Structure 1
Amino acid sequence: MFKLAHNGNILLNVAELNPPSAAFIVEALERSPYADCAVDHESIKAHFTNEYPEQQLVVAKQHDACFSVQVSDDQMQAIGNLTIAQGGKSVTIEDAKKEIVKAGVSRGYKQAYLEQILTKQLELEPGVEVSGIVAQGRPSVDGQPAKIIQHVQTVKERLKQPKLREDGTVDMRDFGALSSVAPGTVLITQRPATPGKEGFNVVGDSIIPLPGESFQLMAGEGTQISPANPLELVATIAGCPSSIQNGMRVDDVFTIGEVNVRSGHVDFNGSVIVTQGVAPGMKVTAKGDITVMGSVESGELKSGGSIEVKQAVIGHLDHKNNDEGLTCRLIAEGDIHLSHGQYTYIEADNVFIDRQSNHCDIKANKLIQVGIDEHPKGKLLGGEILDAKMVIAGEIGSESGAKMSIYLARSGMKITKESDDCLKALSQTDDQLSTLQQAIEKADMLKDVEKKKQLMAKIGATQQHYCHQAEELEQQLSQLELNLHDLLEQTKLTANQALNPGVEIHIFDRVYKTNRSYPPCTASLQDGKIEIDFKTS
């Protein structure tokens, strides 16, 4: 009934068969050896509508399977696209491999991937299209940063572990014996950064990983880099270890019950632990950390490390100085951590206040946080934020609308001034270079060859000096611009519960005044002005 033409068409001699309908032809095809071929419904339909039908009717078309390979835009995958044969030849593994090579794939190929796709020729209906991965690149794995592995307990960590009484209660004033190390004790070990693992894409290109960030192990006072192992830091004296950036120091520790009139002021070259409190008018000065287990009332703490006050820090307006200034002051080169602050001047790298800050003047290099946990909900009321990069609290300002000023990114003013000075110096250097160029042109006109040679050498040396100076100034200017950009990018004020009216927000040289209560929000500098973005739950 049907026969296969050389061009792949399936023909029916309608003159011999005289089929009664299109459905008859289709059903006959389905029972024939050409059942998998693509039925030409348009040709069959036309036979029954044409006034002069053809004697040989094309009823179907035989199609070989088709396989192509497409490389993804990022060149990390090669995708094989297969169209199942319709009465024609299937795609062999050898044919498919040729297409893979033709597409430029040279790495990441696995025959199991290809076999998984080609097996579909035995499972799916003719003409169905299917695709799958035939080659997979391997992303690079960035190196791990260098890490400090600590082998001893620091004073700060010890003070987080109060002693347990026999009845199960905790004695918040007794922390047991001080952690101490002997000379030669290994304090920390540096695990070196790793280079990472190279990757590749399917077209054969290598993907170079970013090596892990490294740092220099820092030996603070009382420590040294081990002569036997440059990745170890060891103690050189007996004392208590304290963490510093990328290292440790070992301090002698002075412990005192209460700092009062009887004890006198404390000025110590190491760390100080006050197991009770600091009385009004008393001062504690330490080169290391200061820890106060009780409260500080109108006292002054100055630390070359960090300060931690377990209870409240309370001062008042300085009545002896016409209410100018505050009677309680905490200043640290490291961090300051306290439970509650009132009428206190606080200055540190980072400032953490667990519950509330009332009328405190605070200055931080980086962060001021009022409240604990991941979403602090403490209250920042009154006073003045003198400088910081980030301020995070639950509630900022008072509902009454009392004025409160918050200054952020003030160091940007210093960067701007340094940039202006740099530009001025660069302009002066350019003027010098122009003058030297004129001098070269005049010297070139001299007839005395020896004198000309000497003058040219002298001018050339001076010119080289100013060229080097100009290059340094340009690099300095570029770095200052980058520093300012990074500073403003990181600067932000966050109120996790409410930002009240009367708060004057200064970010760099821009000002925003709140005249109503805002729900949870953040304030940051965007496109040259302070924008308030409201948080979505």
Structure 2
Amino acid sequence: MCDIKLTLQNENKDLLMTITPVKGQPKANLKKLQTAFKLSAYSTFLLIDAAMELLLAEVAKGDESDEQKSTAGTGSIIANAVDASLKVTLAPESMSATLEFTAAYGGKTIENPAVIAILKENNITKGIIKENLINIVKEGRLLQGGKSISTEIAKGKMSKNGKDGYVKYLVDDPAERISCPKKLENGNVDMRELGNLIHVKAGKKLAQLIPPTDGIKGFDVTGTIIDAVSGETCFLEESEGSSFLDENNNILVAVIDGMPKYLENSVAVHKLLEIENIDVGTGNIRFDGSIYVQGNVCEGMQLSATEDIVIGGLVETASISAGGNISIAQGIIGRQVSEKNDLKNSTMLQADGDISAQFAQYVDIFCKKNLNITQYISHSQITVEGDLWVGNIANEKADGKIFGSRVLAGGSVHVGTLGSVCGAITNINFNYWFKIVEELRVIADEANHKIIRRLPRIYKLLQKAGKLDNENTKQINRITYALKQHLYLLGKLNKEWLEKGNNIDEHLNNFELAAYQSILSGVNIEVTNKNSTFKRDHQATQIKWFENKISIEPIVN
């Protein structure tokens, strides 16, 4: 058999295999070479691809050449000793560092100083995870040559922005309380039991200003500090019936007895009239302040307040108006009455704020803000400048019903089922802002024509007064003042309708009608001069204004 010898060269980094023919012995082959390498002390070295095959080829060439025939062997480098290696990878913005350990091929393994050196080399100084460093070195030494493992060895800390300042309300909101009747032990709800009236005495703390926080600074693994953004500053302000407790201006207290009302960044306290029922015994009520009716507003009665109206029962065939919100614990029941050969609803609600109730039937509603009806709207005329929600306000999706009614909306409409199975016409009109702008424009035009008709007379008066003596100065001033007032009024009216005109495009771009359960046949949708009538039932549907047309798309749950 030929002689196969393995020796180290080049500072013990290269493995030389030498094959020496032995006369009368079998020639070397690849299997013998591979066995000799595997059984040697150098089997962990990195074998060079095809190195043994090339060596055998050289040996074969020597056998064929007379000149090469000698006792000298043929040698070639077939493997290398490769030291274990470390590689660091930094995440974007240096917020973490990963160490990759590749095991040695017969070379030097990794010692702790090498780990420290590569950390310094990559400037990793903060957020180092010591346990992971120790473990990767231990596990890496047990790996088969050339195998790799990696682990996160340093982690930065993101900065934490400060929290915004806010107003913490210290009293309950009557409008919310009226929509949360008492839950009984058997699980039912007592719509008549609303608990105690929310009423505050002078000196009661109403709200507290919570300041913003500075936030917490962060760092990356190289030690660079990441600044934090402080929270936004909020403010608290005095309102009607409330003032600051002291010069710190951070606590608001009531200065009168009355009913609190949440405002943005404030709480107002309004004079409160509390009454059991509105009926023939009390007569019609008009009050400068807020009104709390414990029970019902009975048939034929009128109720008016400059602020909020809270009703613990129901409203039946009555007229109610409020300068603030109207909150009704139960429902609104009206009927159709004949007036000049036309059928009209007997009940009317008008509010400059929000309106909320359990249900509404045969009622005309004019709402300057948002309208929330929990169960259904039936055979009613609705005008709402804000959004209309028909369903439980605690749910993510509206689940109430609108049928046999006309709605003029300046915002979005959210409902469960729109329309009725009997095919009663239900009309949803999104032209509220068109209507308002046109009305304001007409008023401005009429004022404009009136002023133009008066101008010649005013100028004649000025000319006449100017030809008289100085004693007519007061008369001239009065005429001049009247002229300025007319022009100011005209400018104000024109400005108002032009500004409202900006709401038209904003409304068209942002409104939606969402019927989360179904839209039934007989429903008509109006937007600008476009109409869409549903002639068949649809499942959950969303309607928007897109590319100058009514867009109807299914709602995918």
Instruction: Say yes or no: TM over 0.5.
Output: yes
Deviations 1:53-107 (A, max 9, x none): 7921433222222322232335422333332221222344544455455556565
> Which stretch of the first structure deviates more once superposed, 326-335 or 107-116?
107-116
- Does residue 1:358 correspond to 2:378, yes or no? yes
Whole-Å separation in 1 of the counterparts to 2:501 and 2:89: 44
Whole-Å separation in 1 of the counterparts to 2:195 and 2:521: 48
1:406 is aligned to: 428
TM superposition shift of 1:394: 1.0
- Does residue 1:66 correspond to 2:91, yes or no? no
Whole-Å separation in 2 of the counterparts to 1:522 and 1:22: 76
- Does residue 1:87 correspond to 2:100, yes or no? no
TM superposition shift of 1:159: 4.6
- Does residue 1:52 correspond to 2:72, yes or no? no
TM superposition shift of 1:322: 4.6
Whole-Å separation in 1 of the counterparts to 2:541 and 2:96: 43
Query: Which residues of 2 match residues 417-496 of structure 1 at below 5 A?
Result: 490-496=510-516
Aligned pair partner of 1:36 in 31, 34, 44: 44
Query: Which 5+ residue runs of structure 1 have no aligned equivalent?
Result: 419-478
2:490 is aligned to: none
Task: Give the conservation status (yes or no) of the 8 Å contact 2:417–2:519.
Answer: yes
Task: Give the conservation status (yes or no) of the 8 Å contact 1:392–1:494.
Answer: yes
TM superposition shift of 1:127: 0.6
TM superposition shift of 1:371: 1.4
1:145–1:414 CA distance, 2 compared to 1 (3 A): farther
Task: Give the conservation status (yes or no) of the 8 Å contact 2:401–2:416.
Answer: yes
- Does residue 1:320 correspond to 2:339, yes or no? yes
Task: Give the conservation status (yes or no) of the 8 Å contact 2:310–2:326.
Answer: yes
1:5 is aligned to: 9
TM superposition shift of 1:327: 3.0
TM-score if structure 1 supplies the norm length? 0.76
- Secondary structure of 1:143's match? coil
Letter in 1 for 2:519: L
Whole-Å separation in 2 of the counterparts to 1:90 and 1:413: 83
1:424 is aligned to: none
TM superposition shift of 1:395: 0.7
> Which stretch of the first structure deviates more once superposed, 52-61 or 253-262?
52-61
Query: Which residues of 2 match residues 261-410 of structure 1 at below 5 A?
Result: 261-317=280-336, 319-323=338-342, 326-346=345-365, 347-372=367-392, 373-399=395-421, 402-408=424-430, 410=432
> Which stretch of the first structure deviates more once superposed, 37-46 or 351-360?
37-46
- Secondary structure of 2:388's match? strand
TM superposition shift of 1:2: 2.1
- Secondary structure of 2:397's match? coil
Aligned residues with identical type, % of pairs? 26
RMSD between superposed Cα atoms in Å: 3.9
- Secondary structure of 2:144's match? coil
Whole-Å separation in 2 of the counterparts to 1:30 and 1:412: 90
- Does residue 1:195 correspond to 2:199, yes or no? no
- Does residue 1:180 correspond to 2:199, yes or no? yes
TM superposition shift of 1:357: 0.8
Aligned pair partner of 1:139 in 158, 161, 164: 158
Aligned pair partner of 1:258 in 277, 286, 289: 277
TM superposition shift of 1:498: 0.5
Whole-Å separation in 1 of the counterparts to 2:502 and 2:147: 56
1:505–1:87 CA distance, 2 compared to 1 (3 A): farther
1:409–1:26 CA distance, 2 compared to 1 (3 A): farther
> Which stretch of the first structure deviates more once superposed, 252-261 or 314-323?
314-323
Deviations 1:221-251 (A, max 9, x none): 2111222432111111122323223322223
2:254 is aligned to: 235
TM superposition shift of 1:508: 7.1
Deviations 1:105-129 (A, max 9, x none): 5654444444443333223221112
Whole-Å separation in 2 of the counterparts to 1:117 and 1:408: 66
> Which stretch of the first structure deviates more once superposed, 51-60 or 162-171?
162-171
Letter in 1 for 2:244: I
Which has the higher Rg, Structure 1 or Structure 2? 2
- Does residue 1:524 correspond to 2:544, yes or no? yes
Aligned pair partner of 1:14 in 14, 19, 23: 19
Task: Give the conservation status (yes or no) of the 8 Å contact 1:143–1:193.
Answer: yes
Task: Give the conservation status (yes or no) of the 8 Å contact 1:296–1:313.
Answer: yes
Letter in 1 for 2:419: G
TM superposition shift of 1:410: 4.9
Query: Which 5+ residue runs of structure 2 have no aligned equivalent?
Result: 63-72, 441-498
Whole-Å separation in 2 of the counterparts to 1:210 and 1:530: 43
Whole-Å separation in 2 of the counterparts to 1:309 and 1:408: 26
Deviations 1:287-336 (A, max 9, x none): 33212222222322222332222222123455315537643222223322
Aligned length: 477
TM superposition shift of 1:187: 1.7
1:138–1:316 CA distance, 2 compared to 1 (3 A): same
- Secondary structure of 1:141's match? coil
Task: Give the conservation status (yes or no) of the 8 Å contact 2:433–2:500.
Answer: no
Letter in 2 for 1:518: H
Whole-Å separation in 1 of the counterparts to 2:47 and 2:272: 94
Letter in 1 for 2:354: D
Aligned pair partner of 2:521 in 501, 510, 513: 501
Task: Give the conservation status (yes or no) of the 8 Å contact 1:70–1:103.
Answer: no
Letter in 1 for 2:512: K
TM superposition shift of 1:218: 3.4
